[in-house]
Structure 1
Amino acid sequence: MPVIRTPESRFAGLPDYPFAPNYLDVGGTATPGLRMHYLDEGPRDGRVVLMLHGEPSWSYLYRHMIPPVVAAGCRVIAPDLIGFGKSDKLTRISDYSYQSHMDWLTALVEQLDLCDITVVGQDWGSLLGLRLAAEQEPRCAAIVIGNGMLPTGDQPVPKAFRIWKHFALYSPWFPIGRIVASGVRRKLPDGERAAYDAPFPSAQYKAGARAFPRLVPVTPDDPASPANRSAWEVLAQWHKPLVTAFSTGDPITRGGDKYLQKRIPGAQGRPHVTLRGGHFLQEDSPAEFAAAVLAAVRA
C-alpha cells in the first residue's frame, strides 16, 4: 500500500500546540514502517488517559484539554490515527478498514504497554475507544465518551449522517478546516482552522478522512458488525466507570448518551454532563470536558 508522510514544515508554528512528537511503527508485517504519531505528556507513573480523536481531526483537537489533565497528575497519550495529523497516510480509500484502525491503535497500546487506562473518545474516537475498552478490558479502567457511539448496523442512522457519508466519498471539494469549523459553535480563528488543514497538503493525503464515514457499520451484515456486537457483550457487563459528556448541538449523536447510560452498568450513578457546543466539544467546552475526564479518573 502506498504510504505518504506530511512534511514536518506543515506543522510549524501551530497555535497552542507546544507538544513534543513521538512515533511508533504500528504497521506490523502488513505495512512495515507505517508510523503513528502520538503525544505523551505528563508523569510516566501517572494514571493513563488515552485521548482519541475522530473525523476529520487529529490530536490538535485536544490541545486545550491536555494541560489540565496533566496538571492533575495524569499521563496523557493522544495519538493521531493513521491517515491523520502527523501520522503516515495511505493514499487509497480502500486501504482503510475499521479493523485496520483497531489493529494500529492496539499496536500503540501494546507497544507502550499502557495499563489502567481511562479511554476518552469522541466521534470515531468512540467507535475505536469503546471497541478497545472491550477487547483490552484488563488494560482499561474507565471510559469517557463525548458525542460518539459503538454502532453495530442494527439501528437506523440519521439522515444527516447519510448526507455526510455521501459528501465525504463523492464531493470533489473536501475542505478539512472548514468542515471542523462547521462543527464548532464558537468562531474558529483562521490560525486554528489552518492547523486542521495542516496534515493535508493536497487531495492525495485525504483518503483516510474520506474513508471514515463509509466504515461506520450501517447494515447488520457490515464487516465490522460481528466484532462490535461482541464488544457490546463485554460492555453490557462493564461495571467500571463510564461517564458521558455529550454536547447540546450535535444532530448526529444526539441521544446517544442516554443509550450508553442505559446499556452499560458502569454508567449508573456517574457524574454525566451535557456540555454547550457543537460536534467538536473539545473546541467549545474543553475545560468542562477535561473535568469530566478527571471525574472518571478519580472514580
Structure 2
Amino acid sequence: MHAIEHHDIRVNGVTLHYAAAGEPDAPLVVLLHGFPECWYSWRHQLPALAAAGYRVVAPDQRGFARSDAPAAVEAYSLPHLVGDVVALTRELGADRFAVVGHDWGAPVAWQTALFRPDLVRGVVGLSVTPPFPRQGDTPPLAVMDALFEGRFYWNYFCRPGLADAEFAADPARTFRSFLYGASGDNPRNDPQPAQPLTQPDGTFLGHLDDTKDLPAWLSDADIAVFVAEYEKNGFTGGLNWYRNLDRNWELSAAWDRLPLLVPGRYITGDRDLVGSFPGMQEGVAALPLLYPALQPTLTLPGCGHWTQQERPAEVNAALLEFLAGLPA
C-alpha cells in the first residue's frame, strides 16, 4: 500500500495543496476533482494507481479546500485552471502526463488535453464530456435561466452570497446532501435524476435528499474529512467556477471544434444528474464523430454522479486499462 503524501506548491500565482502517491520518477497522472470536493475524492485512486507504477497527484484546485482562493471571480476561468495544471506538472518535473477529471475537473482535463497535446499523453473525463460545438449565440446562464425560469442550479450558484451562505451554514449537511442526493443509491435518481432545480423557497439543498443511512461507499468519517478540508476556504471559491460559465463560453469561441489529438475516454453513470441536462443524450451519442480519438463511452449501471467514489474498483480498472494502452 502506497502512503498518501501532502504537499504545497506555488504555481501560476497561487499556492496549491496536493496529495500524492507513488515514486517521484514514475509516469505522472494528475487527478482533478469537482464541486464540492477536494483531493479526498480520489482517495481510492491514489494508492491503486501508485501500486500499478504511476506517480499520482491530486491537487485541491484553486478556490477549494487547502489551496489558495483568489478573491476575484474572474480568476477562475478555464485558462487560469488549465494554467494551474500546466504549471503544477512543470514544477513536478514532468515532460508528459496523463490527466483525469471528474465533474468540474473534467472540463479542466479536456481543455488541458486540447490546448497542450504536446504535454498530455491521454485524458479521461468522468461525468462531464468533452465540449460540444457551440450552438447559437446565447450564453449558457441565459439559456438555463430561460429553460427553467431561473431555478436551474447554475443560476442559483451564480447569485452572490446565496449558495455560499446556505452551504456554509451546516457543512456536514451540505456534504451529506450532495454526496448522497446525487448518488446512484438515492431512489429518486432511478432510472434518471430530475433536473437540479432550486426549491420554491429559493434554496437548493432541499432538492437533494439528506439521509442518516449513508450508502456503503460513504461513511460519517468521510463526511468529516470533507468538512475539515473546507474549513479554510468554505464554498465561495468553488462557486466562483460557476460564476465564470458565461466568461468561459465567450472565451471558447477561440477553440470551438478544436480536435482532440491524444487518446481519451469518457466514463459516466446511468443515474448521473449531468446526463439529464438538456441535449446531453444527443451529445454523448455524437461523441465518436466529434472526437474520433475517444475510446467508447463507459456507462456504469446504477452509478450516480460521484463516479470514482461510488464505483472505485470499476473506475480504477478502467483507468489502469486506459493508461496501460497509452503510447510510451
Q: What's the TM-score, normalizing by structure 2?
A: 0.72
In 2, Cα distance between equivalents of 1:277 and 1:56: 18
Give the residue type in structure 2 aligned to 1:224: L
In angstroms, what is the RMSD of aligned CA positions?
Answer: 2.9
Give the residue type in structure 2 aligned to 1:285: R
Shift of 1:92: 5.1
Q: Does 1:298 align with 2:328?
A: no
2:219 counterpart (179, 189, 192)? 189
2:86 counterpart (84, 94, 106)? 106
What are the within-5 Å matches in structure 2 for residues 140-155 of structure 1?
A: 140-151=120-131, 154-155=134-135
1:166 counterpart (155, 162, 181)? 155
2:117 counterpart (137, 150, 166)? 137
Is the contact between residue 91 and residue 206 of structure 1 (CA under 8 Å) also seen in structure 2?
no
In 2, Cα distance between equivalents of 1:211 and 1:48: 28
Question: Aligned in 2, Cα 1:35/1:225: closer, same or farther, shift over 3 Å?
Answer: same
In 2, Cα distance between equivalents of 1:242 and 1:110: 22
Shift of 1:88: 1.7
Unaligned runs of 5+ in 2: 186-214
Is the contact between residue 121 and residue 146 of structure 1 (CA under 8 Å) also seen in structure 2?
yes
In 2, Cα distance between equivalents of 1:206 and 1:179: 13
Which residue pairs with 1:12 in the alignment? none
Give % identity.
27
What are the within-5 Å matches in structure 2 for residues 54-73 of structure 1?
A: 54-73=34-53
Larger Rg: 2
In 2, Cα distance between equivalents of 1:261 and 1:97: 28
SS at match of 1:252: helix
In 2, Cα distance between equivalents of 1:194 and 1:228: 40
Is the contact between residue 102 and residue 132 of structure 1 (CA under 8 Å) also seen in structure 2?
yes
Which residue pairs with 1:263 in the alignment? 290
Q: What's the TM-score, normalizing by structure 1?
A: 0.79
What are the within-5 Å matches in structure 2 for residues 23-38 of structure 1?
A: 23-28=8-13, 34-38=14-18
Shift of 1:192: 1.2
Is the contact between residue 33 and residue 105 of structure 2 (CA under 8 Å) also seen in structure 1?
yes
Unaligned runs of 5+ in 1: 1-16, 29-33
Question: Aligned in 2, Cα 1:271/1:98: closer, same or farther, shift over 3 Å?
Answer: closer
Give the residue type in structure 2 aligned to 1:246: T
SS at match of 2:19: strand
Question: Aligned in 2, Cα 1:140/1:206: closer, same or farther, shift over 3 Å?
Answer: same
Shift of 1:24: 1.1
Is the contact between residue 152 and residue 226 of structure 1 (CA under 8 Å) also seen in structure 2?
no
Give the residue type in structure 1 aligned to 2:245: V
String of CA shifts for 1:80-139, please: whole Å, max 9, x gaps. Answer: 101112212234545433332222222112222323322111111111111111222111
